Amino acid sequence: MPLPYPALKPCPCQSGRSFASCCQPALNAERVAQTPEALMRSRYVAYALQDEAYLRRTWAAETCPDDLEATDGTRYQGLRIHRAEGDTVEFSAKLKLPDGRRGTLRERSTFEQRGGEWVYVDGVVLNSQAGVTDTPADKD
């Protein structure tokens, strides 16, 4: 079960809109994401709220990992969209790993429209082999 999140609080994807008027309808399957960027944002929120069902639903069948695990303790602390062009979106996500390390994952994701809905196909990590660069620890 995904973590609960108040509808009227600012959306975790940092769009500046409320959850209810941003990513919540997509996560609740009330409305499909209209653009790759909107899908990217909703998938970031799904990671933050540990909504594995949504991640699977929006992941191309051939690239979706069998052992998808959204509850490994990683915390998602911020999202920035750098570029959204055509079927790709480049973003940075601020993470806090289960071992306490903080880092930023910068990725260029590729999406595809299938049957009228966008799905995530794959991504290229741009900032490090491990996917996370250490950033100076700041206080909680």
Contact residues toward Zn ion (CB under 5 A) are: 11, 13, 15, 22-23, 41
Give me the count of residues in the chain. 140
CB of 10 to Zn ion, least distance (A): 9
Nearer to Zn ion by Cβ, of 24 and 104: the residue is: 24
CB of 21 to Zn ion, least distance (A): 9
Q: How far is residue 106's CA from residue 104's CA, in Å, rounded to a whole number? A: 6
Cα separations in angstroms, 12 against 4, 46, 129:
12, 9, 26
Cβ atoms of 15 and 22 closer than 8 Å: yes
CB of 22 to Zn ion, least distance (A): 3
Nearer to Zn ion by Cβ, of 50 and 133: the residue is: 50
Nearer to Zn ion by Cβ, of 117 and 134: the residue is: 117
- Between strands 117-125 and 133-134, the pairing is unpaired
